[in-house]
Structure formats: structure tokens, C-alpha cells
Structure 1
């Protein structure tokens, strides 16, 4: 058996069977060592001139050989995982009692100096086996010792006693007295060993339960410490990092092993770890890659006992620091505040815009009446011509203001969805006819459709028409700038995010959109055109998102122009659930 296996065999077990097997193994080892040591010491003393009764060397060697062979054989059986360990242990205890009886019977019987060896199986039985183990061993030892004394009194003794200092007993009362003393001693030790073994077992069970609870608590602590998203750092009295969890390593960008031993202020110079301020503090942390991260940290004291291996003062003033990345949280808070502000402004603006509609309608109606009157007056008078010109200006600007108010109310107060199935090609053709009748798009403008016949779309028909109107007006305005036609409207059914969807793309050959404004073109009130409210693409995006879709600006195939694609998901079919 090598050293590692030997140490493993001596390691305490939680399992009762394994523990008993370990105890029996110890019993076999102690038996060999004890008998060998006792006989060796006796031989040494005898050679020194001490008058000690000892069997002839051949008998002694034979006895030791039997002990060795029997113990080795028992150990071999023990390695085979025998089923009845308690019965095997009792056999070993009775064997020890028999070996003790042979040793005592061969070294002087009642005059033997090895009589206390009977105590060994008694103690071993009380500690290793059940509560009756010590008593069984005590009873066996008493019976065997009584048999030795009876044989001695009757004269059945070894012949080599004649060559020793052995004196035969003449009084049975003295033998009875010796037997009584040792018998009571055996049973007393058996009872005490049983009592001690019971207390040891109770203590061991309590310790085992405590160990299991501590192990579970330790695993829970480690799991929380490793998996929590908040960074946790412990520092000593000098604010040097003693441990940190993976979350803190991720926040800082350093490896956990590289952080241990560093001063916490070297990682976060703005940290305030003072007694007067233990509230949550927000600071900027520079990560390993140089990027700045907004974090919030707080700390608390750890009342740890002093480390006996450290003589430096202040090691008990440890702290635990929690560090949390709040950059995203602060960004969300800013967005929420901005959204609330915009919502309030939007409500107020929508109310004002709604109130503007009535006077604009009155102005537009009055201007239309004046236009009809001036149309009947064909006088070349300069005043009449000026009146007609001013009336046309009033009508044009009133229409533009009416459109701006309509777009603003559409953006500020989006209507509820009423989705239905409709033919997308037919709706697009209707929208093209409406757009061609407006000032922004000449009647001769060329628009091409690339939409399959009977391509049905599931959406709010009116909102999709508004969406197409804004896209076509923007594309027509871009095409007018460069006089490059046609404007292409293409639609297909494809897969988007694992679902069937209708993709609508409006492609023009205009000057395109500068790359530096790609991120802001869908922002409300942003426009590159004069006399434009900048709500067209914002409304397009809003309508697409109302339908759980999206709108994307894509690169044109030829490198010129603009491609705006809207994706509108279709409802899932029953077999897709």
C-alpha cells in the first residue's frame, strides 16, 4: 500500500459502514504492533538479566507468525468489502482476546506481566462496535482469564515453567481475588468505553450535521459571490483588495488574480471609504482598456477576528465594497425623463395644434371665396392682380400649415390599429394617384411597381396608406432635385425574425442621404428640406413600430439614391404555434 492510499485509508468517513471498516483496520494494525512491541521489550529485558517468564524462542516466533498471518489475512478479507462488518469485528475482538489469553498463559498465567493486554479488545470493542461490543469483549476476556487461572490451579501449565522463576499457586483464594479484580476491571472498562463511544458518536453526528450545513452555506455563498451581477470586493485595513468576484473583474476589465493585493483607490481613485460617508456614491471608473464606466459603490465594515499570522495593526478593519455599473441605468433614466418631457410637450402641442385648425380652416375658406371673386374679375388693374396673387399665397401657405398640423397630430396622437387583410398593390396604386396630384410630385413623374398581384398584407389600411404617402413624397422630392426617374416601389413576402413578413421598399435615384445624418433622419422635426416640419419619416417609423415592424435605411445597389425598407410582420399561422 503506497503512502497516498495509506493516508486515504486513515481519512475519517461519514458513512457508518466505512467508518467501522476503518476502525477494524486500525484494530488489526494496533494488534500487530502491540504484540510485536510487547514481546520485543520482554526479550530485551530478559537479555538484560531481568527474571521474566517467556516461552522458548521457537514458540514466541510461532506465536508472532500466527498473529501476523491472521492479521494480514483479515486485512485482505476486509478489502473485499465483506457484508457483515459487525460480525467480522466481533470475530476480531474475540481473536484478540484469544491472543491475549495465549500470551498470558505462556508468560506466567496469574504471574504474567501481560495480563492488562486483555483490556485492549475491551476498549476496542467499546469504541468500534455497538454498545454491547465492549461488554462482549469484557465477558470473553473474563472467561478466558478465568480458564487460565483454573488450568493453573489444576496444574495444567507449560513444561518450560520449570526452568523459570514461576511459583505454582497454593491458595485458590488468591487466584479468586486476582480474577475478581481483573474481571471487575474488564467490565468497568467495557462500560466506560461504551459510554465514551456513545458520547463520541453523538458528538460526531452533531459535527457531521454542522459540517453539512456549513458546506451548504459555503456553496451558497460561493454561488452567490460568483454569479451575482454586482461587483463585490473585500479590502483590509489598508484598503488593499483581498478578494473580488467575477462581476467586479468584468466591470474593471482586469483579471481577478491581478486585482488581489492592489489598493482599491488605484482602481477607483474617487472612492470615499470614510466613516463619515457610507452612502451610495457615484463615480467614473477607468477600465483596463481605457474606457470610462459610470459606477455606484457603497461599503460596510467586516468585523473579522485578527489573523494570528499577521502582526501588522489594523488588519481587523476590513471592509466589503459593492460596485454596480449604473451607466445603462443612468442612460435609461435620462431617456425616461426626456420621454416624459417630450410627452408633456407633445400633449400641449397637440392641443395647440388642434385649436389652430379652426382658424386655419376659416382663413383658407375665406381665401378661397376671395379667389373665386377675383377669378371673375379679369381686370388688368395692378391692384386686382396683386389681390389674386396674395390670395394664392394665403391658400398655398394655409394648405401647407394644414398638412403640418395633420402630420403633427398623427405623430403626437397615433390612432388605434384596426388591422385587416387588403391587396397591397391596389392600395399602392391608389396612393400613387393621390401623391401625383400634389405639388411636391409632378403629374408626369414616373413611378414603377414591383409588387406581385394579390399580395395580401395584414395591417391597418389607412395607416399603411399614410406610411406610403410620406415615403413617396420624400422620394419624389429627391427625384425632382436631380430629375432622375423612376421611383420604384417593391414589395415581397419574406422571413423576418423567424416570422413571415411583408417587406415594402421605396427606391429613388436622388442625391441620397448623407452618411453623417443616418442616425437622426427618423428623429422628429429633423429635415434637410426648407419649409418642411420634419415629421414624415418619424411618422413612418411610428406606424411600422405600431405594427411590431421596423423601417431601415439601406445602401442602394448602384451607389446612388436612397432605399427605405419597411417590414410589417404577418400573423402566425396555427401550425406555427
Structure 2
């Protein structure tokens, strides 16, 4: 209780005695009976004043305690005495209404924060919120994966130290290539100013665009391929028919064309026929990209799957690394074709060296890895681009088709340099099959 309140309470309790003393001084010394009555009256009035002052003090202290609870954020506290008809009853009723409203707002804020947290966790894009001084204040799980560090290590770190400061110079909405510690690719950069508790800050959003852009490129490629295939096939079919007809009517011997000219004509027709057939086969191979059937996913036993594909090669250079019994969710037939392509590439790249086929679990995915000890990855970013190949007789379709198959089943296909030595690693990531 404050000193002023204590003084007022003391004066209130002493007031009956002071009034009695004043009366005696003014009226003179009373008789014995009057004195006894006066003392009894003073005692009763003092006791009543003490009770009133004590109850008032207690009520004031109660109000102070209730307000202190609100200041500390305890909105579940409630005041008693709401049924009273005096001022304290009004205060109690108004306090309880205020506390209930603050509690509802706190519950709504908590639910909103939970919703925001779940929304940020579900986003594919990385979200970074920075204080005015450039220190990181908030990061979502996608941002942690992007920087390959947990939030506990990232929070409070300067944007420049995280390698993100330069991205604020990129025009918001632009798509730029960028390599982070956890992932590289093309990203749509978005940034804006934000304000929290009267403090200015900056928001940075990195939206991955590599998959979407690849899908757009693949769709454009398939449309172009259908047109080219149609036109080339329509042109090659009559050429092949005409070659066959000319070869049939070309005299064999005993004609003016006998001799060297006759052999040249026959050789030329043979070349035209062979190249026409080869071009049709070539277009047919690439048409597979445009006619890839939709996957028929099912539960696939990883151990049996890898052993089966490795057994198709019957090559002592291929070694299966033991792994845990796992099940993935995918189209077995299409995935077998992918693994065949990867093993063939590894065997051709490694020469006489060993090729290792292994698998492991990573969170909710199964990783199937094919590693070789060949010359390593070529310095090019076009390994998955259709028609691109580093082989002398390659068609440039295997990796492009393989990645298209894997991504159609919700997975990824990546190529990396082998850690700790020369060579490359092809890594397939596919969803882990649900238990039961």
C-alpha cells in the first residue's frame, strides 16, 4: 500500500477518538456515566472505522493484484464479488469482462500463430524475416533446408554472413540462378518491408522455380517433338517406299547402266534407304519422351528391386552394398528402366572399376544410389537436357527420360561428384511406402 493510502486509513481509524477528545475539550469534563458511554462509543466507532478502512484496503489491494496479473499476461484470473451492488461490484464485473476479452484475443492470437507456423512449415519456398539491423529473426523449415543449418544456428545471424544480403538487390519477382549450401537452381526472389512492434524489418522469400521451369520446358519439348516426329515420319515414309520401288525396277545386268554407274546408283539407293530407316528409329526413340505413360504406383520392395536389376547385367563389376529392408512407393517397371540406364552409364564410365549399388532411408524417402569410379561429371549443366550427350554414340535421351520418370512419381534424380575420390553418384529419391 502506498504511504498516502496508509495515512488516510490511520486518520480514518483515529477519527472517532479525535472527535471525542474535541467534544471533551469543548464541553468540559463529563460525569462518570457520560465518560463510560463516551468511551464505549469511541471504541465502537473506532472498531467500525477500522473494519471499513481494512475492507477498503483489502479491496484496493485485490484490484492491484488483479491488474498486476493482467500485466503479467494471466488473462484467466477473475475477480469475486460481482454480485455486490456497490462500487467494488461494478469494478469486479468490468474487470472480469476485460479479462475475458483479453483471454479470447490471446487464444485467437495463439491459434493464428499456430496456423502461420503450420503454413510456413508447409511452404516449398524459403521465408526469412530480418530485423532492422539485418539480423535474422524468423526462418521456416524450407529456409533451414536451403541453408543446410538448423534455425537455432541461423537466428540472430547477419544477412550478409548467411549469403542473403545480395538477394535484396535483385528486383522482386525476378527469377535468378543461385547456389545455396543445401540446394542450387533457379529461384524467384521476393522481398518487402515489414513492421513488427513499431520496428522496421525486411522479408525475403525464395521460391524454387527449377521444377516448374523444367516442366514448362518439357511440355514445350514434347509439343515440338510431336510436330517434328509427325513431319519427319510423313516425309520419310514415301522416301523409303520410293527407294524400295527404284531398287526393284533397277536392272541387274545387261543394260546401259551396267558397270560402275550401275553400282553407284544401287549404292546410293541403299544409303538413302539405310539413313531413312535410321532417322525413323531416331525419331521413334525421342518420341518416347512425349508418349511416356502415367505411372502405376505400388509398394516396391527395395532389396528385391535392386537385386533384380543388378542381376539383369550379370556383371562382376556391379556390387550391391547391403542395406536395410525398405519399401518405396512407385511404378516398378518404369523405375527398373531408370535403374538400368543409370547402371549402364556407370559401367561405361567406370571401365574396369567397381560400380556400387546401394540404398538407404532419408526421412520419409528412400535413396537409391549408383556410384562409379570413372572420370566424374563433365563441366556442363546440360546433362538432363534432351539431345545432349557426352558419349560418342549417345542419343541424349537416357538421363532426360529417367528424370522424367522419377519426377512423375514424386521423386528426384540428381547427379553428384563422388565424395572422397574420383567418380560420380546418381541418386534417386522416392517416397517411402506407408506402413501397413
TM-score normalised by structure 1 residue count: 0.42
Q: Report the equivalent of 2:71.
A: none
Q: 2:363 aligns with which of 483, 486, 497?
A: 497
Contact 1:553 1:563 in 2 (8 A): yes
Aligned with 2:99 (options 195, 207, 212): 212
In structure 2, distance between residues paired with 1:447 and 1:401? 36
In 2 relative to 1, CA 339–572 (structure 1 residues): closer, same or farther, beyond 3 Å? closer
State the distance in 1 between where 2:311 and 2:245 align: 33
Offset, 1:505: 1.6
Structure 2 partner of 1:295: 191
Change (3 A) 1:369 1:562: farther
- Quick one: distance in 2 between partners of 1:55 and 1:373? 163
CA 1:28–1:251 in 2, change beyond 3 Å: closer, same or farther? closer
Q: Distance in 2 between matches of 1:371 and 1:391?
A: 8
- Which ranges of structure 2 fall in alignment gaps of 5 or more residues? 59-80, 118-127, 136-157, 169-189
Does 1:513 find its partner at 2:384? no
| Paired residues of 2:406 and 2:412 also in contact (CA < 8 A) | yes
The verdict on how the C-alpha distance between 1:494 and 1:335 changes in structure 2, with shifts beyond 3 A counting, is closer
Q: Cα distance, 1:424 vs. partner? A: 4.7
Residue matched to 1:33: 14
State how far apart, in whole Å, the 1-side matches of 2:336 and 2:200 are.
54
Counterpart position of 1:560: 422
Q: Deviations over 1:141-174 (max 9, x none)?
A: xxxxxxxxxxxxxxxxxxxxxxxxxxxxxxxxxx
Counterparts of 1:340 and 1:423, CA distance in 2: 28
Equivalent-residue separation in structure 2 for 1:70 and 1:564 (angstroms): 93
Q: Does 1:352 align with 2:227?
A: yes
Aligned residue among 101, 108, 132 for 1:254:
132
Partner Cα distance (2:95, 2:410) in 1: 59
Which of 1 and 2 has greater Rg? 1
**Which of 271, 285, 288 pairs up with 1:409?**
288
Larger RCO (CA under 8 A, 6+ residues apart):
2
Are the aligned partners of 1:550 and 1:568 in contact in 2 as well (CA < 8 Å)?
A: yes
In structure 2, C-alpha distance between the alignment counterparts of 1:550 and 1:370, rounded to whole Å: 51
RMSD: 6.0
Query: What displacement does 1:401 show?
Result: 6.0
User: Using a 3 Å threshold, how does the CA distance of structure 1 residues 27 and 372 change in structure 2: closer, same or farther?
Assistant: farther
Aligned mates of 2:264, 2:412 — CA distance in 1: 50
Aligned 8 A contact 2:15 2:46 in 1 = no
Q: CA shift at 1:390, angstroms?
A: 7.8
Q: Which has the higher helix share?
A: 1
- d(CA) in 1 for partners of 2:382, 2:390: 11
**Among candidates 457, 463, 478, match of residue 334 of structure 2:** 463
Quick one: structure 1 residues 39 and 363, their matched pair in 2 at CA, closer, same or farther if it must change by over 3 Å?
Answer: farther
**What residue ranges of structure 1 are gaps of 5+ in the alignment?**
11-24, 82-128, 132-196, 231-249, 258-286, 300-319, 434-445
- The aligned counterpart of 2:143 is none
Distance 1:256 1:226 in 2: 23
1:450 and 2:312 matched: no
CA distance in 1, matches of 2:218, 2:192: 29
Question: d(CA) in 2 for partners of 1:256 and 1:64?
Answer: 74
Q: Is the 8 A contact 1:527 1:534 kept in 2?
A: yes
CA distance in 2, matches of 1:206, 1:29: 30
- Paired residue for 1:485, among 335, 349, 352? 352
CA–CA distance in structure 2, aligned partners of residues 524 and 465 of structure 1: 20
